[in-house]
Amino acid sequence: MTDRNLAPAQRPHRHHWRRDIVELAALFCAVAVADAIANLVVHGPRGPIMLIASAVALLVTAAFHTWWARRHSHAPPPQSTAPSDPTASAPTASGTSATASSTALWRMRTTVRDEPGSLAALCTALARNSVDILTLQTHPLPEGGTVDEFLLRAPQELPSADLSRAISRAGGHSTWIERADAHDLVDTPTRVLGLATRTALDAAELPLALRQLLGRCTIHSIPATTLSGRPNAGADAPVEGVLETTVMRLRDPSGGAITVERPYLPFTPTEFARARALVELDARLGPRVPRSQDVLTLPEGNEITVRRADGSDLAAARAMHDRCSDRTLSLRYHGPVADADRYLGHLLSPRFGRTLAATTASGKLVALGHLLWDGDETEVALLIEDDWQRRGIGSELLRRLISMAVEAGCDSVYAVTQAANTGMVAAMRGLGLPLDYQIEEGTLVITARLDATPVGSRLPYDLPRELPHEQPAPRRHR
């Protein structure tokens, strides 16, 4: 290989005589300067003073250099954006927290024309505003066009209105944007599989799974017949379901229909297909309720079993109603119960919520606790047989129902009772949660706010249990 074929960094070093002359001249100049300074120090009138001043200046300079080096030796190296920087992809913990605190997560949907370059225009508009695209889903529309759904990380100081205007200028229309959180970082297939698993394990999870799948929406389960036995209007959904822009109607596998409404944003065919798949999964699996149970020991030593209840407990629940006094039933239902069988069938259906039953060692049902889905809201209700009241059973059932509501992602629960029902009021107060009270014509509505309670916490078993009208809570064991 000749010298011409070598890269510049590989060519041998060539000796130049001009560099030697320059170095020799610099050496002579340094000697001359040193000789002049020595003559000035030795023969000058103030030579010793200049020598001492020079030494002091050198010491001060050395001390300042040492202080400066120690102060900046622990500073993090400046971040480099060059591709060759090996540390560019490994930010420090402080850098990561600073970035997270200066950005915000947004969920955004917009409709664009189904033509080449439309998505690129949106991405360019987002990049100009320093917005990072974390996830992207596309929903084709039957009439043409595409709904693009983004999960974005934007600068904290960027208002949503400016983001919407940028998208509009890039060709997007019908734009909808709202704040997101860390839970939205889960990709769509993983979230759908998780919802399908929850639905497969518990029939009561279907309305909750649909709500989490479709976002902020209102879900109503319409039974096939009313409590009086007449056909219910709107309960005749076809097998394939109906999609009408912001409303979808699906046939309920347990009878009747499920209506999902989202006035602020039309449903796409993709969302409709996903909802139908969940409903079909529920229909194929049939009725199912988790059979886990806890055995509790009451203060007097009796044992009761708390478990999930369903339609198979209808006869036992009807027998408990027959043993309850008129006052107990009136406090629970706010009036006489004309048709207990039909009403209990509605309450025990997993489609309308979850029900807990407390049974004695002999199997007799003595208490029921209901967590009922009511559109966007959630209601809790208790019924305790007279002979088993004031023993802590109601408080235990209520705490478990609240725990289920927290796991389901509910922001609040409410109880409709009467001011004379001191046991229910005391049980709600014993939860230790923020409560709101509303009284109208003798009816008391108590709302407990759950938004400050994190999912997965040990609620309700670590909450205070000072109940003025209840006995101490029973001991739990498996």
- Better-predicted residue by pLDDT, 460 or 105: 105
Strand order in the sheet with 303-309: 435-440, 443-449, 412-418, 377-384, 365-374, 353-360, 303-309, 293-297, 475-477
Q: What per-residue confidence (pLDDT) applies to 385?
A: 92
- Coil, strand, or helix at residue 303? strand
Q: Is the pLDDT of residue 418 over 80?
A: yes
Which residues are within 8 A (CB) of 292 and not within 5 positions of it... i.e. 6 or more apart?
307, 308
Across 139-143, 153-157, 213-217, 447-451, the highest mean pLDDT is recorded for 153-157
Q: In the 8-state DSSP scheme, what is residue 232?
A: P
- Better-predicted residue by pLDDT, 5 or 263: 263
Rounded average pLDDT over 17-27? 71
Contact 258, 221 (CB under 8 A): yes
Rounded average pLDDT over 178-183? 78
Instruction: For residue 444, report the phi and psi dihedrals to the nearest 5 degrees.
Output: -110, 125
Pairing of strands 132-140, 146-155: antiparallel
Band of pLDDT at residue 455, cut at 50, 70 and 90: very low
pLDDT tens, residue by residue, 283-309: 888 877 777 777 878 777 778 899 988
pLDDT tens, residue by residue, 306-334: 998 888 888 899 899 889 888 888 888 87
Q: What per-residue confidence (pLDDT) applies to 64?
A: 73
Indicate the pTM of the whole model.
Answer: 0.55
Q: What per-residue confidence (pLDDT) applies to 472?
A: 44
Percent of the chain residues past pLDDT 70, beyond the cut = 76
pLDDT tens, residue by residue, 382-392: 999 999 988 88
Rounded average pLDDT over 112-117? 86
Task: Measure the CA–CA gap between 385 and 367, rounded to whole angstroms.
Answer: 6
Task: Measure the CA–CA gap between 351 and 335, rounded to whole angstroms.
Answer: 25
Band of pLDDT at residue 346, cut at 50, 70 and 90: confident
Rounded average pLDDT over 77-81? 42
Q: What per-residue confidence (pLDDT) applies to 342?
A: 67
Task: Measure the CA–CA gap between 434 and 7, rounded to whole angstroms.
Answer: 76
Q: In the 8-state DSSP scheme, what is residue 352?
A: G
Rounded average pLDDT over 349-362? 86
* Average pLDDT of the residues of the chain: 76
Q: What per-residue confidence (pLDDT) applies to 47?
A: 62
Q: Is the pLDDT of residue 467 over 50?
A: no
Query: Could you tell me the domains of the chain?
Result: 102-185 (3.30.70.260), 188-285 (no CATH), 293-477 (3.40.630.30)
Quote helix, strand, coil % in the chain, to nearest 5: 40, 25, 35
Q: Give bridge partners of residue 353 from the DSSP assignment.
A: 372
